[in-house]
Amino acid sequence: MRTVLVLMDTLRRDVLSCYNPQTEVKTPNLDRFAERSCVFDNHWIGSAPCMPARRDIMCGRYNFLERPWGPIEPFDVTLPQCLRAAGAFCHITTDHCHYLRTGGEGYLQEFNTWDYYRGQEGDPWVSRIDEPDNMPETFYGRVREQYQKNRQKWPHEEDMPSPKTFQSACDWVEDNKGKDDFFLMVEAFDPHEPFDVPDKYMEMYGGKGELDRDYFETPQYKRVSDTDLNAGAVDYIQRRYQALVTMTDHWFGKLIDKLDENGMFEDTMIMVTTDHGYFLGERDYMGKNYMHLYNELAHLPFIVHFPGGARAGEHAHQLTQAIDIMPTVLEAHGCEVPREVTGTSLVPLMTDPDAPARDYALYGVHGMTVNVTDGRYTYFRAPVEGNQPCFEYAALPHTIRKKMGSDCPEKIECGRFFARTAYPLFKIPCKRPAQIESAAPLAEVAQTMLFDLESDYGQKNNLAGQGLPEEREMIDLLLRGLEEHESPAEQRERLGL
C-alpha cells in the first residue's frame, strides 16, 4: 500500500472548480486530479491554525481542546510512528517554516527521513546584519526584513521553497519508483502569505492593477476598516492570492505527472487538503485567528484518489475532518488503529457511497469559541465574560515562538490530568489565546452564533438566542462532543455550559 498526503497551506475551498464552478482561479492540475478522485463536500477544519491542524493529522484527535499551538508531545501516538512500526517507510518534504520554530518541535522527527526547504515567511535563514537592499519604500500590510533577505536567494521560480518542495517529492518518487508500503507527505507552505509569486502568474490576473504602493504581500490580521487599505489594495491582494494558488497548482501537477509516469498513480491513495482558509476582505476581515471560524476559514477542500480509481469523479457527502486522515491511512495499510485515536476511518467509503462516518464535527482555536456542525447547522459557542477557567495542558510547554506559562510560573500545576496517559503534564493558566496578538483578543468572538447552512451558507443570519429547538440540539451535540473527545472538564464552565 502506498499513500501520498499533499497539504497546501491556506488553500481556500472556493478557488477550486470542483467546489465552485464559478471560480475564476486557474487550477488545471487540481481540476484533473479531482476528476480522477473522490471530492469530499463536507470536510471541516478541526484545530486551528497551522500547527494545531498538523497535530490533528498526526495524532487523529483534536489538539484545540487541550492546548494551543505546540509540538508533538512525548505521550502522542502518531501516524508515522504506527506506520513505521508496521514496516512502512515514511518521508516528508516541506517548506513549512513553523516546523523549525519554537512550538513546532518533534513532527519531522516522526518520519524515517525528511527534507526541508528554507526561507518562507520570517524563517531566520539568510544571516546578514545589514538591512536588505530590497526593502520597499511604500507598502501596505507588513514587510519582514528577514523575508526580504531570504527572497534574494531565489532568482527563479524553481528556486522558491514550495516549488523546490514539489520537485523534491518528484525526485523522491523517481528514486523510489516501483516501491510499495510507504507514506509520503508533501507539504507546501504556499499559498500561505506572503503571497510572493512571479510576475507571469500575476499577469494572468490583471497584473498590478490599481495598487498605489510599491509592495503588498502580507496583510495585517485586522479588519479592513481598521487599516489604510483602499479598494484597489484589497482587489490586488485577492489577485495575488489567486496567482499563488495557480503557481502552487502548477507544481502540484508535476508531482501527479511523475506518479503517472512511473505507474504509481492508479494504485496509490493520494489525499489533497489544507489546514485552514483565509479572509481576503470578506466580512471586513483580513487574515485569520482572531475572528469566528466562518466557512471561509472552516469549510475546507479534501480530495482523495482511492487505489484503483474507486469512486473517481464522485462526490462524498459525509462529514470529515483532519483527525480522520490517521485512521484512514492506518486501516488502508492494514495497521491497527490505536485506542487514543478519535477520528473515523474513511476506508468504507471507498466502496460504499452511503457508508456512515461521523455525525458531527467539533472545531476551534484553543481558548476561543468551541464550534460544532452537523452538516446542516454551524454553532459557535462563545466563552463567558472573562474567558475563565481556561488552561493549557502540555508536557512540553512550548507554543508559537515562545514558552507557555512564563508570565505565571508560580501558578502552574503539575499532575496526571489526562486519562489516556500516565505522563505528568503542566496545567498552565491561560489569560489570552496564544496565537492572538491583538490588544482585545476575544472582541470578535464574544457573541454565540447559529447558522442554517441550507438557507444561509454565507452565515449572515444569526439564529442564536431566539429559543429555537435547533439551538438546543446543537448545544447537546456540542456537549456530547466535549464528552466523547475527552475535553478538560473546565471547558464547559468556560463556555457557560
Q: Name the DSSP class of 131.
A: P
Helices 325-332 and 50-59: angle between axes, nearest 10 degrees: 30
The answer as to whether 442 is a domain residue is yes
355 found inside a domain: no
Q: What is the mean pLDDT of the chain?
A: 97
Identify the pLDDT of residue 438: 75
Percent pLDDT > 90 in the chain is 98
For residue 97, name the pLDDT band (cuts at 50, 70, 90): very high
Q: Are residues 343 and 405 in the same domain?
A: no
Q: Is residue 85 in a domain?
A: yes
| The pLDDT of residue 240 | 98
Q: Distances from the Cα of 283 to the Cαs of 116, 211, 222, 242, 446, in angstroms?
A: 36, 21, 11, 19, 16
Asked if 170 and 261 count as a contact pair (C-beta separation under 8 A), the reply is: no
What integer pLDDT is reported at residue 435 of this predicted model? 84
Same domain, 414 and 344: no
Q: Are residues 126 and 215 in the same domain?
A: yes
68, 390 Cβ separation under 8 angstroms: no
Which CATH number covers residue 112?
3.40.720.10
| pLDDT for the residue numbered 443 | 93
pLDDT digits (tens, 9 = 90+) for 300-351: 999 999 999 999 999 999 999 999 999 999 999 999 999 999 999 999 999 9
Q: What is the pLDDT of residue 441?
A: 84
Domain-located, residue 212: yes
* One domain, residues 344 and 366: no
pTM of the model: 0.98
Q: What residues make up the domain containing 100?
A: 2-350
Could you tell me if 400 and 328 lie in one domain?
A: no
pLDDT in tens, 249-258: 999 999 999 9
Residues 349-370: what's their mean pLDDT?
97
Residue 497 — pLDDT band, cuts 50, 70, 90?
very high
Domain final residue, candidates 329, 350, 371: 350
Q: Is residue 479 situated within a structural domain?
A: yes
Task: Mark whether 335 and 478 lie in a shared domain.
Answer: no
- From residue 138, alpha-carbon distances to 147, 212, 421 in Å are 16, 9, 53
Q: Per-residue confidence at 376, pLDDT binned at 50, 70, 90?
A: very high
Structural domains of the chain, count: 2
The predicted model gives 205-223 an average pLDDT of 96
Q: What is the pLDDT of residues 425-449, one digit of tens each?
A: 999 999 989 988 777 789 999 999 9
Mark whether 376 and 343 lie in a shared domain: no
Residue where a domain terminates, one of 323, 350, 377 = 350
Considering the domain architecture, whether residues 317 and 408 belong to the same structural domain is answered as no
**65 neighbors 381 (Cβ within 8 angstroms):** no
Q: Are residues 209 and 311 in the same domain?
A: yes
Rounded-to-integer distance, Cα 248 and Cα 196, Å:
11
pLDDT at 274: 98
Question: Are residues 323 and 380 both part of a single domain?
Answer: no
Question: Quick one: pLDDT at residue 494?
Answer: 98
Question: For 388-431, how does the pLDDT look when each residue is reduced to its tens digit (9 = 90+)?
Answer: 999 999 999 999 989 999 999 999 999 999 999 999 999 999 99
* 257 and 176 in a common domain: yes
Give the residue from 315, 350, 385 where a domain finishes. Answer: 350
> Does residue 102 lie in a domain region?
yes
Contact (CB, 8 A) for 174 and 259: no
421 and 319 assigned to the same domain:
no
Give me the pLDDT at residue 440, please: 77
Inter-axis angle of helices 28-35 and 231-261, to 10 degrees? 50
Write 471-477 long-range contacts (CB < 8 A, 24+).
471/379, 474/372, 474/374, 474/377, 474/379, 474/450, 475/379, 475/381, 477/360, 477/372, 477/374, 477/379
At 25-53, the pLDDT tens digits run: 999 999 999 999 999 999 999 999 999 99
**Residue 69 domain-assigned?**
yes
pLDDT for 106 beyond 90: yes
Q: List, for residues 175-199, the tens digit of each pLDDT value.
A: 999 999 999 999 999 999 999 999 9
Whether 223 is covered by a domain: the verdict is yes
